[in-house]
Amino acid sequence: MTERSELVRHLPREGEVGRGRVYNQRLSPPEAAMARPKNDNFLRALLREPVDYTPTWLMRQAGRYLPEYNETRRRAGNFLNLCKNPGLACEVTLQPLARFPLDAAILFSDILTVPDAMGLGLYFAEGEGPKFERPLREEWAIRDLAAPDPDAHLRYVLDAVREIRRALDNSVPLIGFSGSPFTLACYMVEGGGSDDFRTVKTMLYDRPDLLHRILEVNAQAVTDYLNAQIEAGAQAVQIFDTWGGMLSHAAYREFSLAYMQRVIEGLIKSHDDERVPCIVFTKGGGQWLEAIAATGCDAIGVDWTTDLGEARRRVGDKVALQGNLDPMALFASNEAVAGEARRVLDNFGPADGKGGHVFNLGHGISQYTAPERVSVLVETVRQHSRHS
C-alpha cells in the first residue's frame, strides 16, 4: 500500500466526520505520534542535514482549489465552523496528502484564531473576508488586552493537532503555525483586511506606544500558542508575517522583526527528544534576509520577488531557505509548470551533501488552481532534485 493510499484509508467516511470519539477510535494509538516520521526529508532540510530529494509542501495546500475541501467546507456550514471542528480540520489537512506526494502536512486553521480568543469577535462576511466585531481603536481596550490561555481558549486547535498527528501515523511531519505579532495587529486594529492598512500605520506613526502595547501582548500570545501546538504534536512551526513587508526599512525592524525575535527566543526548541525547527516568512521581506537569519530561526520563507540563489549566498550556512515559485505560474501549461519548478531548483543550486532547501510557493496557492498542475509541480520537484 502506498503512502498516499494509506492516508486515504485514514480519512473519515461520510457520517463519521465531527463525531470525535468515533473518529478517534479509527486513528493510530497516541504513542505512535511520538516517533520520527518515516519521511523526514522536510525536517532534515530545515536543519540543513542530507536529504534524499528536495522536500515540498505548499502554503494553503488544503484549500478551495480542491473539490474535496469544498465539499467538507459545505458540510461544515462555514469556514469558522471548519476551523473549530477538530475532526473536520483533520480531514481537510489530510486531503492534499491523499492526492499529492507532499513531504509535510500543515495544520488547517486560521491566523486570526488568536485575536478571536482575545475577545475581538471574529466572523467571516460573505465575499468580504475576515472581520472583527470589536477592533482595537480605543486606548482603554488596548491597555486591557491580554494574551489568551491556549488550553482554555484555543483547545479546538490543539485537539486538531493531536488528531492530525494520530491520523498521519508518522508518515510525514506536521507543521503548526501562527501569524506574526505585527500581522495579527494589522487585522486587530483595522477590524479586517485592508488595501493600505491606513489605521494601523497611522497608529504606528502617531501613537507608537499603543502599537507596541498590542505587539507585546501579541508576542506573548503567539509564543504561548506555538508552544502549545508543539506540545500537542507539531514538529515544526511557521510564523506568517504577511504584512511586515509593507513597512518602511526602520519600521520593519522595530515593529515586526523585533517581536518575531521575541517569539523565537521563547519557543520550545525540542520536544520528545527531537528538534522543532522554526520558519519565518515575511512576504516582501527579501531586503531583510540577513536580519531575519539573525533572529535564531532555522529557515526563511522567500517569496517569488527574491532571487533564491542570491538569497542563499546572502544567508550562507546560517539558515535553510523555503520557496519560492510564483503561485501564478501554476496557471500555465504542464510543461511550463515543470520548467519553472526546475528553474527554482537550479537557482538554489546543488545541495552539496546537505539539505537547506524546502520547495514551496512564494505565497499561498490560488483557489483557482487546477489540481493537475500541483501534481505536475510536486512530481517534477521530486524527480529533478533526486537526479540533478
350 within domain boundaries: no
pLDDT at 26: 34
| Averaged pLDDT of the chain | 91
In this prediction, residues 102-106 reach a mean pLDDT of 98
Catalytic residue among 23, 40, 48, 60: 60
Asked if residue 114 has pLDDT above 60, the reply is yes
Q: Is 187 a catalytic residue?
A: yes
Q: Is 252 annotated as a binding residue?
A: no
Q: Is 123 a catalytic residue?
A: no
For 195-235, the pLDDT digits (tens) are 899 999 999 999 999 999 999 999 999 999 999 999 999 99
353 within domain boundaries: no
- In this prediction, residue 261 has a pLDDT band, given cuts at 50, 70 and 90, of very high
Q: Is 63 annotated as a binding residue?
A: yes
Assign residue 189 the CATH number of its domain: 3.20.20.210
pLDDT at 224: 98
For 163-187, the pLDDT digits (tens) are 999 999 999 999 999 999 999 999 9
pLDDT at 214: 98
Contact (Cβ atoms closer than 8 angstroms) between residue 65 and residue 50: no
pLDDT at 10: 45
> C-alpha cell of 63?
484549500
Q: Is 23 annotated as a binding residue?
A: no
Q: Is 271 annotated as a binding residue?
A: no
Q: Is 241 a catalytic residue?
A: no
DSSP strand pairing (174-179 vs 105-106): parallel
> What does the alpha-carbon distance between residue 3 and residue 39 come to, in Å, rounded to a whole number?
10
354 within domain boundaries: no
Contact (Cβ atoms closer than 8 angstroms) between residue 169 and residue 28: yes
pLDDT at 2: 45
pTM value? 0.91
For 234-252, the pLDDT digits (tens) are 999 999 999 999 999 999 9
32 within domain boundaries: no
Q: Which structural domain, as residue segments, surrounds residue 82?
A: 3-21+55-297
DSSP strand pairing (122-125 vs 129-132): antiparallel
Helix (H, G, I), strand (E, B) or coil at 274: strand
> C-alpha cell of 178?
501562527
Q: Is 339 annotated as a binding residue?
A: no
> What does the alpha-carbon distance between residue 76 and residue 90 come to, in Å, rounded to a whole number?
13
Contact (Cβ atoms closer than 8 angstroms) between residue 15 and residue 1: no
> What does the alpha-carbon distance between residue 200 and residue 208 come to, in Å, rounded to a whole number?
10
Catalytic residue among 40, 103, 110, 159: 110
- In this prediction, residue 351 has a pLDDT band, given cuts at 50, 70 and 90, of confident
Q: Is 187 annotated as a binding residue?
A: yes
Per DSSP, the residues of 275-343 read E--EEEEETT-GGGHHHHHTTT-SEEE--TTS-HHHHHHHHTTS-EEE--B-GGGGGS-HHHHHHHHHH
Catalytic residue among 23, 53, 69, 187: 187
Nearest alpha carbon to residue 46 among 234, 236, 177, 264: 236
345 within domain boundaries: no
More confident residue, 172 or 3: 172
Please tell me the least confidently modeled range out of 102-116, 136-150, 339-353. Answer: 339-353
Strand partners, 184: none
Q: Is 313 a catalytic residue?
A: no
Q: Is 64 a catalytic residue?
A: yes
Q: Is 62 annotated as a binding residue?
A: yes
Our count of domains for the chain comes to 1
160 within domain boundaries: yes
74 within domain boundaries: yes
What is the spatial order of strands in the sheet that 357-358 belongs to?
Answer: 105-106, 174-179, 236-241, 278-282, 299-301, 320-322, 357-358
> C-alpha cell of 118?
482575545
> C-alpha cell of 353?
551533501
175 within domain boundaries: yes
Catalytic residue among 73, 99, 373, 382: 73
